[in-house]
Structure 1
Amino acid sequence: MERPRDLVVVGASAGGVEALRDLVAGLPADFAGSVLVVLHLPPGGASALPAILRRSGPLPVTSARHGEQVKHGHIYTAPPDHHLLVDDTTIQLTHGPTENGHRPAIDTLFRSAARSRGPAATGVVLSGALDDGTTGLELIKARGGLAGVQEPEDALYRGMPDNALARVRMDFILPAKEMGPTLAVYVREMVDIDGTATLSEIDEAEVLASVSGLSPPNGGPEVVEVSKPSGLACPDCQGVLFSLDGRDTRYRCRVGHAWTAQALFEQQSREVEQALWAALRALEEQRDLATRMSHDADERGFPLVADRYRRHREERSHAVEVLRRFLYEGLTPPGKDTAGETA
C-alpha cells in the first residue's frame, strides 16, 4: 500500500525559535504535507510560538488540540506541559511522564510518528543542547522514514545536531533556511507502508506498558524490557532508573520518566550544585554562630569554651573558602570535554 511521505516532525530546544522561523519561512504556500513541532517550553503559561511562526511564513500555524485531524499545508505546535503525538491522522495530547525533564518532549513526538506513519514520516532535529531527538530520529530511520538535521555551524546551539549526526545516517544536512524547499519535495514522494507501521494505540500506552510489566497493546513493537536496574535514581521521582539498552545510554523509571545519559548527567550536576550552595550557606551560618558564641564565652569568663568555638569558627572559615572557590571557579560544563567539544 502506498501513501505520500507527508508528515514532518520537527524538534528544537535552545536557539530553536530562530531555527524554526527560518525553516517555516522556506515552506511554500502549497506545501503538500503536515508539520508537527515540539519546542522545549516551560510548563506554565501560554506559548507565543504559533504567533511567531505565523509571521514567518505563508502556512497557517496553530497550537495542537487533542483529537484534531492533521491537515496538509498546516503547522501544529505542542502546547506547554503536554506531549504532542500523532496517531495516523489524529493528534494526541498527553500529560505523560517527562523525558529528559521536558514535557513536551521531542523523542515522544518522533517515536509516535515512526510507529504510526513508518516510511511516511520525516524527522528533523534543529538547534539545541545535549542529545534530545536523537533516539526518536533513530526510530524514524529504522521504520524507513527520512532523517534531517540542521547544519551544526548554522545552529545557535549545536549539541542536538552534533549528537544526531553521530548516531543517525542523515538524508539531508542543511541550514534551516534551506530546509523548506527540500521538505516540499519529500512530502510529495510516494512510499510503500505495507500496513505494518500503523498502530491504533498511542506511544504513551506502550511506554507505560514497558515500565509497568504489563503486556504491550496489540503486541506493539519497540517496547523494551525494563529488567536491569542501573543503580541510579530518577531526578523527577527518586525511583530506580532502569537501563533501556545495553550501552547504558537511555534510562526510564517505573512510572515512566525517561532520561538519556547526557541529560541525566546535566540534571545531576544541577542537583549537586544546588546541594553545594546549600552547604555553603550552612557553613557560613555555623561560622558566624561560632564567632558569636566565642565572644559570649569570653565575656562570661569561660576561655576554654571560647577557644573551642574559635576553632570551630576557623574550621568553618576554611571550609567556606574552599567550597566558595570551587563553586565560583566551576566545573567543565556538562556535555563538553576538556577541549570544549560536544561529547
Structure 2
Amino acid sequence: MSVPADAPNGVVAVGASAGGVEALQRFAAGLPEDLPYAVLVVLHMPAGAASVLAKIMDRSGPLPAVTARDGEVLAAGRIHVGVPDRHLLVDDHHVVLSQGPTENGHRPAVNALFRSAALQFGPRAIGVLLSGALDDGVLGLAAIRACGGVAVVQDPADALFSGMPRNAIEGGEVDHQLPASDIGPLLAKLVDRVVEETGMEQNVTMQLENRIAMGSRFSTEIDGEALGPPSGYTCPDCNGSLMEVQVGNYRCRVGHAWSSEALLVAHDQEVEGALWVALRSLEEKAKLSRRLAANVGSGPLYQRYTELADEAGHAYRVLSTTLEGEYRTSAGAPGES
C-alpha cells in the first residue's frame, strides 16, 4: 500500500474496557479541533454486539468519529473506532481489521492496537489507556514506549474501573496520568513536541506478535518454538500449551495471548465452573441414590444406596457452604466497597 500524501503525522491509540464509554466521551470532548494525528479507539465488547460507539464519540467532541473499515486510509483529526470481533490494527497508514487470535480473551484487544501503532509510527505513536479492569494495554504501552512513543493513562481515581490504568502505573509503563477530560489538552502539546527519528533496532518478538494479530482466527503458520520456551501452563481458550514470550506474556501455538493477571482470572473462572459442575453432580447423585433405595425395599442394597445418598448429600452441603463463603468473601460484606 502506498502512503497517502496527506497522511497524519502520527497516531493516538486509545484503549478502554469496563467504564470505558463514559471515559471515551470525556476524552473525545477534550480533543483539539486541529489534531494532526489520527485517533484509533478500541473498547472491549462482546463478539455479537452492535456497537454505536462511533456515533457516541462523534456527538461528544469536535473531531468526527467513524466506524473503522478494513483498508481505509488513516486521516488526521479523525477518530477511527474499532468494531466487535476484529482487532483494530494499522499498516502503511491504512486500517486493518483482523480476526487474529484473541488476546486476554478479547478481540479487539488493546495490546494488539498499541503494538501495531508502536511498530508503524515509532516515536510518533501515543498510547492512551482508560478505564477498565485487569491489565490489557499494559504490554502495549510498554511496546509504544520501547519504540520511542508516549504512554498516557487515565488517573485511576478518575476511572470507574481503575485496574487497567493502575496496572500500567505499577508496571512503570506510564509517562503521564490525568483525568480523561484533561488528556486532549495534553495531546495538543505532545503532538507538537520535537521527535527524534532514531533508527531503532526492530524488535523481532514485537513483529512476530503483530503478524499473529494480523493473521486469521485459526492460523496454522505460527512457529511455537519461535514464541519462546514452554511455560508449563495451558491456554484457557483452547487448552493448548502456552509459551512464555516474555515475562508475564504468554501465547499458545494457535496464537491466543495472555498476560499473567488475565491468565489467573481465566483459571479462577475455570475452577469455579468445575466446582459448580461437581455441586450439580453431587446433588443428582444424592437424588438418584435415594430413589434407588426407595425402589429396593429393605436389605443390603437399601443400606448401600442410603449410605451413598448420605455421603453425596453431606459432600453437597460442605461444598455448597464453601462456595457460598468464597462468594461472600470475594464480593465483600453488605455496605463494603
Both structures adopt the same fold (TM-score exceeding 0.5): yes
Q: Is the Cα–Cα contact under 8 Å of residues 289 and 309 in structure 2 kept in the other structure? A: yes
Q: Report 1:283-302 matches (<5 A).
A: 283-298=282-297, 302=298
What whole-Å deviation, never above 9, does each CA across 1:98-148 have from its counterpart, x for those lacking one?
Answer: 000000000000001111100000001111111110001011111110011
Q: Report 1:1-343 matches (<5 A).
A: 6-194=10-198, 196=200, 204-205=210-211, 212-213=222-223, 225-245=226-246, 247=247, 249-298=248-297, 302-330=298-326, 333=330
1: distance between equivalents of 2:144 and 2:95? 18
- Taking a change above 3 Å as real, the CA distance of residues 268 and 117 of structure 1, as seen in their structure-2 partners, is same
Matched AA of 2:235: C
1: distance between equivalents of 2:199 and 2:73? 20
Moved more, 202-211 or 177-186: 202-211
How far residue 187 of structure 1 moved from its aligned partner, in angstroms, is 1.9
**Number of equivalences:** 320
Provide TM-score, normalisation by structure 2: 0.88
How far residue 259 of structure 1 moved from its aligned partner, in angstroms, is 0.3
2: distance between equivalents of 1:69 and 1:76? 10
Q: Is the Cα–Cα contact under 8 Å of residues 63 and 76 in structure 1 kept in the other structure? A: yes
What whole-Å deviation, never above 9, does each CA across 1:211-249 have from its counterpart, x for those lacking one?
Answer: 8339xxxxxxxxx9424111211111111001112x3x1
Matched AA of 2:210: E
1: distance between equivalents of 2:326 and 2:149? 42
How far residue 85 of structure 1 moved from its aligned partner, in angstroms, is 0.6
Q: Is the Cα–Cα contact under 8 Å of residues 5 and 186 in structure 1 kept in the other structure? A: no
How far residue 292 of structure 1 moved from its aligned partner, in angstroms, is 1.0
1: distance between equivalents of 2:82 and 2:121? 19
Q: Is the Cα–Cα contact under 8 Å of residues 44 and 109 in structure 2 kept in the other structure? A: yes
Q: Is the Cα–Cα contact under 8 Å of residues 135 and 259 in structure 2 kept in the other structure? A: yes
2: distance between equivalents of 1:252 and 1:195? 29
The 3-state SS of whatever aligns with 2:24 is helix
2: distance between equivalents of 1:113 and 1:319? 53
1: distance between equivalents of 2:169 and 2:230? 29
- Other-structure match for 1:221: none
Q: Is the Cα–Cα contact under 8 Å of residues 74 and 93 in structure 2 kept in the other structure? A: yes
Matched AA of 1:20: L
Same amino acid, percent of matched pairs: 47
- In structure 2, runs of 5+ residues without a counterpart are 1-6
2: distance between equivalents of 1:206 and 1:232? 20
1: distance between equivalents of 2:92 and 2:200? 12
Moved more, 310-319 or 161-170: 161-170
How far residue 206 of structure 1 moved from its aligned partner, in angstroms, is 5.6
1: distance between equivalents of 2:281 and 2:11? 54
Q: Is the Cα–Cα contact under 8 Å of residues 110 and 123 in structure 1 kept in the other structure? A: yes
CA RMSD of aligned residues (A): 2.7
The 3-state SS of whatever aligns with 1:32 is coil
How far residue 179 of structure 1 moved from its aligned partner, in angstroms, is 0.7
- Taking a change above 3 Å as real, the CA distance of residues 33 and 98 of structure 1, as seen in their structure-2 partners, is same
- Taking a change above 3 Å as real, the CA distance of residues 18 and 79 of structure 1, as seen in their structure-2 partners, is same
The 3-state SS of whatever aligns with 2:35 is coil
2: distance between equivalents of 1:258 and 1:102? 9
Matched AA of 2:253: R
- Taking a change above 3 Å as real, the CA distance of residues 204 and 312 of structure 1, as seen in their structure-2 partners, is same
- Taking a change above 3 Å as real, the CA distance of residues 204 and 243 of structure 1, as seen in their structure-2 partners, is same
2: distance between equivalents of 1:268 and 1:196? 38
